[in-house]
């Protein structure tokens, strides 16, 4: 995670926000890199991993699985921009955002396997489940579309997930609280990146504004699922309905500054009231998982 002061200074000078990646970052954690476990202290260092008294392990595992699947699937979507982004600089940027999310997912999936007592590892959960066993929201599994489409999705997700992690930083499970506290910093940067591009495209040429608006219109119907509470969330997590107003207010402020309209589109329909949190997905997830899991399934047990 970048030093925030250095990032802001770079942006003020019209330099790209990722320019400071090449600079050494001060501080005891050496935060000159991202991705959990690379370049700074383990966020779980010294954290008690024992399940707190009074917290249901099955519910905690299910909740961590939801959050971990969100991060894992969106990470895969962002990595798909490698060799395809508009500029090399954006290719590196999107890859690093994907690595941030992958790091979050690894910790959350590991915690899920600990909490339910199954002993399943992050690899077991990432590579050996079928699509109907994944609990991610459909926003993260939708195909990338064009660059503006990806920016729009990242803006929505990072804004909502950042607000959620702020609340989870005080969760009674110390592991989930530590993951959320670290994730808040990264998601703030993800939102900053998406906001910068939303403003650039929305306030650019008529064509760039048209593409940015089209991207927002495409992903907005998937936003509602982030605010729809699943019973597990109500029992062990944060009621996502409480995040609706502040998240929508924050998004509206960005779109107003960019000269874009808040989309007036209905939410994507559920199947008998069930959606991603219940394992009901679009066909896009199956295709994504086929690519994500192919090596592990072709060479089970292999190491390299």
Q: H or E element: which one contains 120?
A: none
What pLDDT is recorded for position 33? 39
Task: Please give the Cα distance from 203 to 256 (Å, whole number).
Answer: 10
Tens-place pLDDT, residues 116-130: 999 999 999 999 999
Distance of CA 174 to the CA centre of its chain: 20
Alpha-carbon distance values, 177 to 9, 106, 173, 228 (Å): 30, 15, 6, 22
Residues near 28 by Cβ (< 8 Å), separated by ≥ 6? Answer: 41
What pLDDT is recorded for position 45? 79
**Which segments in the chain show pLDDT lower than 50?**
1-39
Q: Which residue has the tokens 């010294």?
A: 46
Can you name the residues that pair with 31 across neighbouring β-strands?
Answer: none
In a domain, 225, yes or no: yes
What pLDDT is recorded for position 31? 45
In a domain, 34, yes or no: no
In a domain, 147, yes or no: yes
Identify the sign of the CA torsion 169, 243, 110, 173.
Answer: positive
Task: Please give the Cα distance from 186 to 180 (Å, whole number).
Answer: 10
| pTM score, whole prediction | 0.86
Task: Please give the Cα distance from 64 to 176 (Å, whole number).
Answer: 8
What pLDDT is recorded for position 295? 94
| pLDDT > 70 fraction of the chain, expressed in percent and rounded | 87
In a domain, 12, yes or no: no
In a domain, 286, yes or no: yes
Judged by DSSP in three states, 125 sits in helix
In a domain, 86, yes or no: yes
Tens-place pLDDT, residues 49-68: 889 999 999 999 999 999 99
In a domain, 8, yes or no: no
281: domain CATH number is: 1.20.1260.10
In a domain, 64, yes or no: yes
Judged by DSSP in three states, 65 sits in helix
Domain count, the chain: 1
Task: Please give the Cα distance from 192 to 197 (Å, whole number).
Answer: 9
The answer for 117, left when phi > 0, alpha when psi is -120 to 50, beta otherwise, is left
What pLDDT is recorded for position 47? 85
What residues make up the domain containing 228? 57-298
């Amino acid at each position: 995670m970048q030093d925030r002061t250095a990032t802001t200074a770079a942006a003020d000078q019209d330099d790209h926000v990722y320019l400071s990646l090449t600079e050494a970052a001060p501080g005891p954690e050496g935060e000159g890199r991202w991705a959990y476990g690379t370049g700074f202290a383990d966020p779980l260092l010294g954290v008690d991993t024992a399940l707190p008294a009074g917290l249901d392990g099955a519910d905690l595992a299910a909740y961590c699985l939801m959050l971990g699947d969100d991060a894992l699937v969106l990470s895969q979507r962002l990595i798909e921009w490698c060799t395809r982004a508009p500029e090399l600089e954006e290719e590196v940027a999107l890859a690093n955002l994907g690595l941030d999310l992958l790091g979050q997912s690894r910790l959350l999936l590991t915690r899920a396997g600990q909490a339910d007592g199954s002993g399943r590892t992050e690899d077991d959960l990432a590579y050996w489940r079928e699509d109907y066993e994944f609990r991610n929201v459909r926003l993260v599994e939708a195909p990338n579309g064009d660059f503006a489409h990806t920016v729009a999705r990242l803006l929505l997700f990072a804004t909502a997930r950042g607000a959620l992690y702020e609340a989870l930083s005080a969760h009674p499970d110390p592991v989930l609280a530590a993951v959320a506290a670290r994730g808040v910093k990264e998601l703030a940067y993800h939102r900053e990146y998406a906001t910068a591009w939303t403003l650039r495209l929305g306030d650019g040429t008529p064509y760039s504004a048209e593409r940015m608006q089209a991207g927002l219109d495409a992903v907005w119907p998937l936003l509602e699922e982030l605010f729809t509470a699943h019973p597990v969330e109500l029992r062990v997590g944060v009621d996502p309905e409480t995040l609706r107003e502040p998240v929508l207010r924050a998004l509206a402020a960005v779109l107003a500054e960019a000269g874009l309209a808040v989309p007036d589109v209905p939410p994507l329909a559920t199947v008998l009231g069930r959606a991603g949190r219940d394992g009901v997905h679009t066909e896009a997830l199956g295709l994504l998982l086929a690519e994500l899991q192919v090596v592990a399934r072709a060479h089970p047990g292999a190491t390299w």
